[in-house]
A and B are shown apart, each in its own frame.
Chain A
């Protein structure tokens, strides 16, 4: 980056509107899948089954579309699933996501090129316009596939605007055609209600066949990935990307259901040539069943159907080229693949290197390989991708929801992505029945991504890693002592925290590490951030003056993008047992419970955490410790034992609403493991019954000079809707306050992972 600073920077042009990207999504969805899928679905699931197939697939698709919409609005850059996985899981999984995405989209493009070629050649052969061609039908199809793929590669090279506008034209044509078919079907059913008898029996082969047809036709709902890929080129992406994703899924679902309905009512039972139930008659034609039905629904149905298939194939081809190119461009941009992938044309501002390599895959597969098995591999990888995206959206919302700037957040979080994960898992498993080779090719492609990452990309990934950087560190000799880390925020509160820390550090005979995190805005490279360091050095020096004589001390100053993540990273690296922080008494913004950094650390730290508010450097005479029998209560009592004045001081263990006296202060368990000491001599127990626990604690706190609270943690779902007891008390308490949280082992680990 530094070497290129004086070169002219090229960027993707931002000129795709909401209409363009919605049409791109529709274009990728209404490919060959729906035209081939309706007849086959009728054959397997019956007349009602085909409608249910598309309706239920629409529900699954919108769940994943919601995940894409939320993530795209917060991270509106080219790369789609690759970018999301990078933020959620780091570079390794994200490289695999981008690699799968590139392959899946490219091969889907090959399939659409071949579909276009097959229908076009057959149509012109029917008109006897290809008699002069000296090649076989197969060779002619391959030549046409090559030509159409090359044409759309060139159109994509010309620029985003041309790509979007030409794709939009074709997509509009095919969508209008399908909508007209649906409307004609509804009108015919209204004029001749007897045709509704075609739906009886509704599910002749039972419900289990529904899953088969849903898996087969799910490819017709894979369109939001291409919209996510257009993030860098979309006007007002935070608003338009989520809208386009949701609009496109709703439009295709309604269109598919209407078209499926029209296919069933297109034929009147008992008319000439129709023997037996109508659904069986359509089903016998399998993938051609849709065409046979529509040719009887409206005049010149065959001609319009062929035209629609041609439109659908080329718009889907256009969209997949776009998507595959952007996926590989993102990998090149981040130096995970060679530089050629990130080359951008100065004239057209399109990534010509990525386009060229994508074109090689598309044309090679279209011309040389049997496409059905490879297309199934693409489907499996799309499902793996969606699986990854649905997990990413949950992880990113929980871990970074307060840092990212969202243009949209999904309703019913996290139920929608969880539903999508389960349903798509079932569909992916079903694809084994469709193509065993696909289940061999897909893992091989994923393994190749892991090998490329390990042997090529990893070194470059490390070179660009910039989340946290240690800029100054003084180490004390290594020892097995209890390690306490004190996070020092600024010179103003450094002394106050250190004074309060004094007794705890002394009681634990701990080695103390002073840490100051220097937050650096995303716009500033971490290596250029030294101007942010001065304040941190002052804070560290102030703190050391008070502690260095009494304890072995190490000091660390780190640059970071996010203070919470930076602190937790330091805690992990230095194997810290206890983290001590100051708290000013209220959140800077009302939307956080205790503050964005404090909330983050309290929820995720795997060591003991102590939060101090106005504790000074004194011992306390009257300490109130509300307890509920949890590890946090035990830890609270230990901290109280340290902070209590041994000359006449008293600790009140305050137990609320425990009428059966199940809670005891003498539990054998200690969260501190090493050197935990509770001073039972100075503890008295007080039990009360109260309707409001926070109010009872606050009333009692008036008769004490220090309150020590255990950090209460509600289940994840409940946290989203209400405030905790510790929050209610902490915000309103007027006395000195300590909030503690004991390390909770496996629960804490699961929580951090999630």
Chain B
């Protein structure tokens, strides 16, 4: 298997994995925002980072 093939397959899987990760992460953020009735970006970041 050539280097291009290995790199290409890895890139494809990483791209799809990144999409799926962002999907779940975004769903989590939306859930946190609406459950805690958060508004401003700073409030949301504070909650997400556990401050």
Interface digits, A462-496 against B, CB 8 Å rule (1 contact, 0 not)?
Answer: 00000000000000000000000000000000000
A59 adjacent to B18 (CB under 8 Å): yes
Shortest distance in angstroms between A218's beta carbon and chain B's nearest beta carbon?
Answer: 15
Instruction: Answer yes or no: A254 CB below 8 A from chain B CBs.
Output: yes
Instruction: Answer yes or no: A372 CB below 8 A from chain B CBs.
Output: no
CA distance A407 to B46 in the complex (A): 15
B29 adjacent to A720 (CB under 8 Å): no
CB-nearest residue of chain B to A400: B41
User: A202 — which chain B residues lie within 8 A by C-beta?
Assistant: 2, 4-5, 8
Instruction: Answer yes or no: A403 CB below 8 A from chain B CBs.
Output: yes
Instruction: Answer yes or no: B36 CB below 8 A from chain A CBs.
Output: no
User: B22 — which chain A residues lie within 8 A by C-beta?
Assistant: 62, 66, 246, 250, 411
Instruction: Answer yes or no: A529 CB below 8 A from chain B CBs.
Output: no
- Report B17-47 residues with CB < 8 Å from chain A CB: 18-20, 22-23, 25-27, 29-30, 33-34, 38-46
CA distance A58 to B20 in the complex (A): 11
B4 adjacent to A201 (CB under 8 Å): yes
Shortest distance in angstroms between B51's beta carbon and chain A's nearest beta carbon?
Answer: 8
- Report A215-267 residues with CB < 8 Å from chain B CB: 238-239, 242-243, 246-247, 249-250, 253-254, 257
Q: Quick one: which of B5, B19, B33, B46 contacts A406, CB cutoff 8 A?
A: B33
Q: Quick one: which of B9, B15, B23, B30 contacts A408, CB cutoff 8 A?
A: B30
> Among A49-57, A96-104, A174-182, A574-582, which stretch is in contact with chain B?
A49-57
Interface size on B, residues (CB 8 A): 31
A411 adjacent to B26 (CB under 8 Å): yes
User: B39 — which chain A residues lie within 8 A by C-beta?
Assistant: 404-406
CA distance A59 to B9 in the complex (A): 15
CA distance A734 to B18 in the complex (A): 48
Given known pairs A69-B26, A199-B5, A203-B4, the reply for A401 and B42 (CB within 8 Å) is yes
User: A66 — which chain B residues lie within 8 A by C-beta?
Assistant: 22, 26
B41 adjacent to A401 (CB under 8 Å): yes
Residue of A49, A55, A404 ringed by the most chain B CB atoms within 10 A: A55
- Interface Cβ pair total, 8 Å cutoff: 110
Shortest distance in angstroms between B34's beta carbon and chain A's nearest beta carbon?
Answer: 6
User: B8 — which chain A residues lie within 8 A by C-beta?
Assistant: 48-49, 51-52, 202-203
Given known pairs A200-B5, A247-B23, A405-B40, the reply for A56 and B33 (CB within 8 Å) is no
A58 adjacent to B26 (CB under 8 Å): no
Instruction: Answer yes or no: A397 CB below 8 A from chain B CBs.
Output: yes
- Report A661-676 residues with CB < 8 Å from chain B CB: none
Q: Quick one: which of A48, A239, A250 contacts B5, CB cutoff 8 A?
A: A48
Instruction: Answer yes or no: A535 CB below 8 A from chain B CBs.
Output: no
CB-nearest residue of chain A to B31: A239
User: A249 — which chain B residues lie within 8 A by C-beta?
Assistant: 19
- Report A30-82 residues with CB < 8 Å from chain B CB: 48-49, 51-52, 55-56, 58-59, 62, 66, 69
Chain B binding surface, main DSSP class: helix
A411 adjacent to B29 (CB under 8 Å): yes
A62 adjacent to B19 (CB under 8 Å): yes
User: B30 — which chain A residues lie within 8 A by C-beta?
Assistant: 239, 242-243, 407-408
A408 adjacent to B19 (CB under 8 Å): no
Interface size on A, residues (CB 8 A): 46
Given known pairs A52-B8, A199-B5, A401-B41, the reply for A246 and B33 (CB within 8 Å) is no
User: A254 — which chain B residues lie within 8 A by C-beta?
Assistant: 16, 19
Shortest distance in angstroms between A714's beta carbon and chain B's nearest beta carbon?
Answer: 15
CA distance A403 to B19 in the complex (A): 30
Instruction: Answer yes or no: A450 CB below 8 A from chain B CBs.
Output: no
A402 adjacent to B23 (CB under 8 Å): no
Shortest distance in angstroms between B29's beta carbon and chain A's nearest beta carbon?
Answer: 6
CA distance A408 to B43 in the complex (A): 12
CA distance A200 to B40 in the complex (A): 51
Given known pairs A199-B5, A246-B26, the reply for A720 and B19 (CB within 8 Å) is no
A592 adjacent to B42 (CB under 8 Å): yes
CA distance A636 to B13 in the complex (A): 55
A411 adjacent to B25 (CB under 8 Å): yes
CB-nearest residue of chain A to B23: A250
User: B16 — which chain A residues lie within 8 A by C-beta?
Assistant: 55, 58, 253-254, 257
A401 adjacent to B5 (CB under 8 Å): no
CA distance A51 to B25 in the complex (A): 25
CB-nearest residue of chain B to A203: B4
User: A409 — which chain B residues lie within 8 A by C-beta?
Assistant: 29, 33, 41, 44-45
CA distance A156 to B20 in the complex (A): 33
A401 adjacent to B40 (CB under 8 Å): yes
User: B46 — which chain A residues lie within 8 A by C-beta?
Assistant: 590-591
Shortest distance in angstroms between A88's beta carbon and chain B's nearest beta carbon?
Answer: 14
A408 adjacent to B2 (CB under 8 Å): no
CA distance A407 to B26 in the complex (A): 11
Known: A48-B9, A52-B11, A62-B19. 19 other contacts (CB 8 A): A48-B8, A49-B8, A55-B12, A55-B15, A207-B4, A242-B26, A246-B23, A249-B19, A250-B19, A253-B15, A404-B39, A404-B40, A404-B41, A406-B44, A411-B25, A590-B46, A591-B40, A591-B46, A592-B42
Q: Which 7 residue pairs across A and B have the least CB separation, nearest first?
A: A401-B41, A55-B15, A202-B5, A405-B39, A591-B42, A55-B12, A402-B40
Q: Sample 28 A-B pairs with CB under 8 A, ordered by A number.
A: A48-B5, A51-B8, A52-B8, A55-B11, A55-B12, A55-B16, A56-B11, A58-B15, A58-B16, A200-B2, A201-B4, A201-B5, A202-B2, A242-B30, A243-B30, A246-B26, A249-B19, A250-B23, A253-B19, A404-B40, A406-B40, A408-B29, A409-B29, A409-B41, A411-B25, A591-B40, A720-B45, A721-B49
